[in-house]
């Protein structure tokens, strides 16, 4: 026969056990929900990545439909258009800055020059990039898309379209960014070593920017061997504007 005390103890033990069991159950349910949530997020991410994966040549999407799906239109750079000039300066500066962050070098390729044809790339309602082609060498000089427009196969589609109308095998001037390199491989362009003059020009540009930043930087912080991170973007911007201004002046001279 059990006493009241024994019964009370037994009841408390049973209650504690039930509570533990309930907590275990709740934990299990939570863990399951978390796993399901993770799985769902993973699925969404995977799906997004699949959608973002640019089409490979011979894939189901042809260049025209990629460009149509992204509402991509190109137009020849118009030296009289303020939006063209300011967008080109902004995009080219972004390109220089990205490459400087990546390599510490002055990235090659002019946004516009008398020996190139420059196209302004519109994506939807925005100017999203530009592309410079050297028609005398049937070579891609530079193609740049702002980050929000990447990963949709737009650059590859534009190159494929240009290739289709190019009377020779289309070439690409080296060196390129890793993404550019992948693009060149994917679209089957033939790498072309840049002219010694343009390599020298880029090196001279780099030295000049270093000199100007060292001379004008009011911050004087950090490693003196490395250019100031606050002044460098401004210097790149000036060099882009200089390149564009020079081109515009050449055009005016030619027209006069």
Strand ranges (DSSP E) for the chain?
A: 72-76, 117-123, 126-134, 139-145, 171-173, 190-192
Residue closer to Zn ion, measured from CB, 84 or 93: 93
Is residue 231 close enough to count as binding Zn ion by CB under 5 A? Answer: yes
Report, in Å, the least distance between residue 29 CB and Zn ion: 56
Residue with tokens 């390109």: 95
Q: How far apart are CA 200 and CA 209, in angstroms?
A: 14
CA angle 186, 183, 71 (to 5 degrees): 105
Report, in Å, the least distance between residue 190 CB and Zn ion: 41
Q: Which span sits near Zn ion by CB under 5 A: 24-32, 115-123, 124-132, 213-221? A: 213-221
Closest-CA residue to 143 (of 107, 170, 109): 109
Is residue 238 close enough to count as binding Zn ion by CB under 5 A? Answer: no
Residues 6+ apart with CB under 8 A from 69: 61
Residue closer to Zn ion, measured from CB, 221 or 254: 221
Q: How far apart are CA 256 and CA 254, in angstroms?
A: 6
Nearest position to Zn ion, beta carbon: 228
Q: Which span sits near Zn ion by CB under 5 A: 81-89, 154-162, 187-195, 211-219? A: 211-219
Q: Which span sits near Zn ion by CB under 5 A: 5-13, 49-57, 80-88, 225-233? A: 225-233
Residue closer to Zn ion, measured from CB, 102 or 226: 226
Is residue 115 close enough to count as binding Zn ion by CB under 5 A? Answer: no
In angstroms, the Cα distances linking 1 to 10, 11, 63, 246 are 13, 16, 88, 107
* C-alpha gyration radius of the chain: 29
Report, in Å, the least distance between residue 210 CB and Zn ion: 12
Residue closer to Zn ion, measured from CB, 174 or 217: 217
Is residue 228 close enough to count as binding Zn ion by CB under 5 A? Answer: yes
Residue ranges in contact with Zn ion by CB under 5 A: 217, 219, 228, 230-231
């Amino acid at each position: 026969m059990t006493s009241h005390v024994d019964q009370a103890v037994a009841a408390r033990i049973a209650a504690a056990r039930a509570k533990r069991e309930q907590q275990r159950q709740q934990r299990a349910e939570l863990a399951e929900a978390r796993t399901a949530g993770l799985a769902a997020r993973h699925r969404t991410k995977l799906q997004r990545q699949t959608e973002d994966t640019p089409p490979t040549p011979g894939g189901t999407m042809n260049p025209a439909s990629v460009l149509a799906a992204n509402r991509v239109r190109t137009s020849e750079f118009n030296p009289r258009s303020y939006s063209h000039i300011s967008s080109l300066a902004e995009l080219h500066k972004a390109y220089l800055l990205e490459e400087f962050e990546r390599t510490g070098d002055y990235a090659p390729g002019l946004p516009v020059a008398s020996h190139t044809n420059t196209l302004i790339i519109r994506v939807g309602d925005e100017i999203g990039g530009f592309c410079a082609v050297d028609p005398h060498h049937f070579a891609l000089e530079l193609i740049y898309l702002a980050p929000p427009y990447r990963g949709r196969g737009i650059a590859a589609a534009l190159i494929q379209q240009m290739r289709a109308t190019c009377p020779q095998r289309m070439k690409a001037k080296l060196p390129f960014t890793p993404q550019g390199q992948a693009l060149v491989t994917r679209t089957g362009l033939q790498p072309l070593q840049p002219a010694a003059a343009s390599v020298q020009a880029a090196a001279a540009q780099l030295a000049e920017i270093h000199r100007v930043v060292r001379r004008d930087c009011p911050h004087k912080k950090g490693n003196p061997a490395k250019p100031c991170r606050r002044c460098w973007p401004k210097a790149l911007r000036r060099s882009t504007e200089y390149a564009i201004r020079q081109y515009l002046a050449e055009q005016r001279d030619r027209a006069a």
